[in-house]
Amino acid sequence: MMGRSKAIRGFVIALAGAAMLAVSLAGVAGAGSSKHLDSRATVEQATTKYHDLAIAKKSGYGLLKDAKGISCIAMTGMPEMGAMGVHYANGKLVGDGKIAPTTPEALVYAPTNGKLKLAALEYVVLKSAWDAHHSYAPSLFGHRFDFTPAGNRYGLPAFYSLHAWIYRHNPGGTYTMWNPEVHCPA
C-alpha cells in the first residue's frame, strides 16, 4: 500500500510539473504568436550578436527614420515617458507577415555616452498582412501587440508591434513601448 501511495504522489507531482511547463510555454508563445516556443534565453542567444551594430547592418538591418527624418524616437512633449531609441529595421522581415521570436523585425538601440547600445527587440507586422490570415491581434511572450494606425509618424500603413526590452531595464515594463530610462540627445 505504501508503495502505491508513493507512486500516486509521484504521478500527481509529475502531472503538476507538466501543467506548470504548459502554462510557462503558453506564456512565452502567447495566443496568436508564431508557432515557435522560444524562451527568452533562446531569443537572447539568437540576438546577442546584434550588440555589434556592424553585424546588424550586415544582417539586413538599416537605420529607420520617421517621416520628419528623426532617427531617435522619443515621446514629443512628454520627456517623463522617455524614448524608444534608434531603430534599425529589416524591411524584408517587416513585410513578410510573420512573427518569429528569434528574428525580430527591428533592433532598438539606446544612445549611451555617445554610442548606441542594443536595448530592445521590436516585433512588427503590417496589419493587412497579419489580418489576411488571422482573426485576432498578434501576441508574443504572453503580451498582445500594440496597434499603430495608418497616418503615423513613420509614414507606414497600419501595423502591430511589440517592444521587448531584453537588453536594458525598463521600469515601465519589459513589453511597453516607451522606456523612461532611454533619452534621445537634444
Q: According to the model, what pLDDT value does residue 76 have?
A: 77
- Written as one string, the DSSP assignment of 41-52 is HHHHHHHGGGGS
* DSSP symbol at 59: T
Within a domain: residue 63? yes
Are residues 155 and 42 in contact, defined by beta-carbon separation less than 8 angstroms? no
Q: According to the model, what pLDDT value does residue 30 have?
A: 39
Number of domains within the chain: 1
Q: Does the pLDDT value for residue 82 go beyond 50?
A: yes
How many CB atoms sit inside 10 A of residue 137's CB?
Answer: 16
What is the residue-averaged pLDDT of the chain?
83
Q: According to the model, what pLDDT value does residue 38 have?
A: 60
Within a domain: residue 52? yes
Confidence band, pLDDT 50/70/90 cuts, at residue 79: confident
- Between CA 110 and CA 183 the distance in angstroms is 7
Within a domain: residue 184? no
* 14 vs 69, higher pLDDT: 69
**6, 19, 60, 93, 179 from 105: Cα distances, Å:** 50, 32, 10, 5, 19
Q: Does the pLDDT value for residue 27 go beyond 50?
A: no
Within a domain: residue 144? yes
- Between CA 147 and CA 113 the distance in angstroms is 32
Within a domain: residue 81? yes
Give the H or E element holding residue 11. Answer: helix 2-29
Q: Which domain holds residue 120?
A: 31-164
Within a domain: residue 169? no
Q: According to the model, what pLDDT value does residue 39 have?
A: 84
Within a domain: residue 26? no
Q: According to the model, what pLDDT value does residue 4 have?
A: 43
Within a domain: residue 158? yes
Tens of pLDDT along 90-116?
999 998 999 999 999 999 999 999 999
Q: Give the mean pLDDT of 113-132.
A: 96
Q: Does the pLDDT value for residue 131 go beyond 70?
A: yes
Q: Does the pLDDT value for residue 89 go beyond 60?
A: yes
Report which of 40, 43, 56, 33 is spatially closest to residue 160, judged by C-alpha positions: 33
Report which of 122, 165, 141 is spatially closest to residue 37, judged by C-alpha positions: 141
Q: Give the mean pLDDT of 171-175.
A: 95
Sign of CA dihedral 45, 51, 56, 58: negative
**38, 114, 144 from 28: Cα distances, Å:** 7, 34, 12
